[in-house]
Chain A
Amino acid sequence: MNKLLILGAGTAGTMMANHLRPRLDAEWEISIVDQEETHYYQPGFLFLPFDIYKPKQLQKRIDKFVPAGVNLIRQGIDRIVPDKNEVVLTNGKELQYDILIIATGTKIAPQEVSGMLGPLWQKDIFDFYTFAGAKALRDKIRSWPGGKMVVHICEMPIKCPVAPLEFAFLADSFFVEKGMRDRVDLTFVTPLSGAFTKPTATEKLGHLLAEKNIRIVSDFAIERIDNENHKLVDYGGQEVDFDLLVTVPTNMGDEAIARSGIGDDLNFVPTNNATLQTTIKDNIFAIGDATNVPASKAGSVAHFESEILTENILRYVRGEPLKEEFDGHANCFVETGHGKALLIDFNYSHEPVEGTFPFPGVGPLTLLKESRMNHIGKLAFRWVYWNMLLKGRHIPFVTAQMDERGKHFRESEV
């Protein structure tokens, strides 16, 4: 009996279980380890604070998506021991594997910034990258009288890099509808050189912030939060005042990666950009937010990776060379508020550009341009996620590698 072990039953791990079970014969035992009870629709965390989604729309039982023929082991992971082809669980049990897939994702690490977990945490400082955080923020916003709202990114990389910007756009929209926008001073604080950092997006979307009256503070590398004076302080001495801080804390890979001694500074797993095999050992692969590949940490990326990783696992089993096919493809809806959204499509070498999607020249979705259709697409995606994506069904007309047709590339310079 051969053993394939998947660590993590989130978006990426669940997709791999669904892809691989029908493709590996009965000689292969497949197990997936996860201690969580609930699978969250994480893109919904963006909408929960504004009462657009209800909590129950965002959660289902984790075992509902694990296919028949795959063992779900409900335990925490203590560490991976690559030399022994073994994973040790938190209850001390040891699991042997022939092939290991690491899909342990990323988590927020608010403890990384001094003062973040101080007296204001969950009182005037909130995250929206966890279910609990998004829900607590919803309760806060419902009765918030207005003041200085700061939307803030601590450091890159973060999961879904556009989510903080979307949050700021939705906040603008929300307070306009509530008739209190004049009482809200909205500021976006980023460690990068701007809200948008790629030339085409800066050119096409730079106006959105000014239009929505959102102030931007860039190149802000946070050193600490001054709880007493409600201030963010950066290493260069810059300060930003807040009444309500919505922050995206440092994102880090799972602690089990650190305990195994295999991760980088942020516990992300060193992984080949094109094959998704780790550089730790030939029989260890990684997918999704857990890797250090320079693609966005997003469900769409995990989805495209899963198609290529499935092929590579099958090749590895047959002793064939791996395909170097993953191109960093990501495809993301970006909410811009007031019932509109953008769609962006990009990869390692191409920045997001204008055009149509998924049909070249036709659409119906427009790239890098606000439209109502894109917003409808974003809301419809929840159904696609639960019913197609997690189950490993191919999404029609959307390819794992980026399609360059129907898109307006500038002369390539990356």
Chain B
Amino acid sequence: MTTPLAPVLLDVAGLSVSFATDRGRVTAVDDVSFSVRSGEILAIVGESGSGKTVTLMSILGLNDPRTTFVDGSVTFRGRPILGLPDRDLRRIRGKDIALISQDPMTALTPVHTIGWQIAEQIRAHEAISRAGAARRAVELLAEVGLANPAEAAGRYPHQLSGGMRQRAVIAMALSCNPALLVADEPTTALDVTVQAQVLDLLMKLRKDFGSAIILITHDMGVVAEVADRVNVMYAGRIIERGTTERLFADPWHPYTWGLIASIPPLDGPRPHRLAAIPGMPPTPETMPAGCGFAPRCRFALPRCAARPPVQRAPGRSALCVIGPEDRAPRRAEILGPLGDAA
């Protein structure tokens, strides 16, 4: 990229999260670090149980403090926010950092109108009259492209379609001009044509308002379409990171290879079989001590039982024993030769 780097908005360093369960303490997130700059879209990719949503909830301070143990640091605009009392976090939540939930069916309270719920958020953070907040809610609904915003504001969630509801959720998240949007699988529950509309909207918001977006998803297609940078999570760790372009052109980690190979292609010849990853992701209870992916990895070595080393290049890293010289041939076994692999 040629543009000068924007300031770091959110910095997560050494974040570990574990839960107290009936069967003892289980680790969901293990030593995760990343940062987000203003105006960029960072994708966190992973399957269920990878720890991506838990990471997000820890940033927002929404984990249950009685059963969750959080370690490490989260800094927002230079101010440490991890472990702040709820009273102080509430001033940040919804105002500076806003959440877009996965399933718009369930993300809105069923017994209040859309307009009411948006106005409620505005009034939680600003001294504004009830009527003023209601007017702003209608403006926001127009902003996210609802055809008849005044009418939509008076409707209950169940009276809107999935796409309209997701727009309403986004309008609510935008209501206080947040510097950072965290979107947890924002398009997973939507049909493809609606998904395309919502992704377009997110791109437009980034352009118009300069908001940074953390996009949590399991869909590599969505990542490729909108993200600037990607973190791939597996079993509680970030196992690979890089700019979207580099990561897709030259993936380093065997899990990333498997993830890409698992998606059936939309053009070109169809493979006879998909190069699926065998087995299934570990649960927090069955998490291996070393590399979390080793039990499913066809390239696993005895030393994978220990914590894997970090492979680095400018703007890139991966948590794997496979070094640069071995990478291309092994990857070709799964993905075939990549056109411009470096």
| B is bound to A | no
